Each structure stands twice: as structure tokens, then as C-alpha cells.
Amino acid sequence: MQIQPVKIHAITLKSGQDLRKEIESFVVKEKINAGYIITCVGSLTQTNIRYANQQNGAIMNGHFEIVSLTGTISTNGSHLHISVSDSTGKTIGGHLLYNNLIYTTAEIVLGESKDLLFTREKDGSTPWQELQIKKQ
């Protein structure tokens, strides 16, 4: 599948903002139908991450560096994973939930394809709504 050039978006989040909520609000505001995280650096005072094969998220409070944020974003639903490290360098990661609160800042760069449409649908391969990629 050949993809045409992308549009680049950059946003900066401030102290106290919810990382996932703000990304999703930006996606709706900009009408991004097929996007992805290019990079993100920043810090959190609270994390809420769902680890592999777990039903619920785990909340931690403290000071954490965002060392990775990756995933697909769309007005039709997003799927985001995050890795954070604590003051000793211990790094954990998993599914990004709501209530990941910015400490000082988060600098985020997003890519957007105008040729594609991302949706989330049950396709029978898993019990969850999985990414479906369509040409626009």
C-alpha cells in the first residue's frame, strides 16, 4: 500500500493535563482520521497504565520521565502504549489509560495520513475492536 506524504502536528501539554485525554481532544479538533505518534518526551506525576494481560490499570504517583509513547490515533478510536522511568531508571510500560498527569510538560509530534482511514472494529480475530485500515 503506497502512502502519500504526511501532515505533521506538534503539541505541547502543560502541568496537570491528562496525556491521553489531550491527545484525543486534539485528534477530534484537527479531524485526524489516520494518525500516529511520531515522538513524545515529557514527564508525569501520575501514571495509569494497564499491563499485559491485566483487566485494570495500575496507578502510581511520583515523578516519571516519558521515555516512549507509540500508537495509532483516529477520530474513530486510538490505541496507545507508553513507557515511563522512575528516579532510579526503572522502566515500565503498557497500555496508556486516562489519568496520566503531566508534571512539567509533554512535547508530542503526530503524523497524519490524508490517504487512509483508521477504524476500530471487531473482526473475529480477537475479542477486541482491532485496527482496520482503509483507503480514503
CATH number of residue 103's parent domain:
3.30.1330.80
Tell me whether residue 59 is in a domain: yes
Residue 2 pLDDT greater than 70, yes or no: no
| Residue 20 pLDDT exceeds 90 | yes
Could you tell me if residue 2 is inside a domain? no
pLDDT at 124: 83
Residue 48 lies in a domain: yes
Is the residue at 123 inside a domain?
Answer: yes
Percentages helix, strand, coil for the chain (3-state, rounded to 5) are: 10, 60, 30
35: closest CA among 67, 79, 81, 101?
A: 79
User: Looking at the domain assignment, is residue 65 inside a domain?
Assistant: yes
Per-residue pLDDT at 1: 58
What is the total count of domains within the chain? 1
Q: Does the predicted TM-score (pTM) go above 0.75?
A: yes
Range of the structural domain that residue 52 is part of = 7-135
Residue 1 forms part of a structural domain: no
Q: Report if residue 88 sits inside a domain.
A: yes
The per-residue pLDDT for range 50-104, each reduced to its tens digit, is 999 999 999 999 999 999 999 999 999 999 999 999 999 999 999 999 999 999 9
> Which cell numbers in the block locate residue 102?
503531566
Contacts of 125 (CB under 8 A, 6+ apart): none
Q: b vs e for 43-74, b when ≥16 Cβ sit within 10 Å of the residue's Cβ?
A: bbbbbbbeeeeeeebeebeeebbbbebbbbbb
In a domain, 40, yes or no: yes
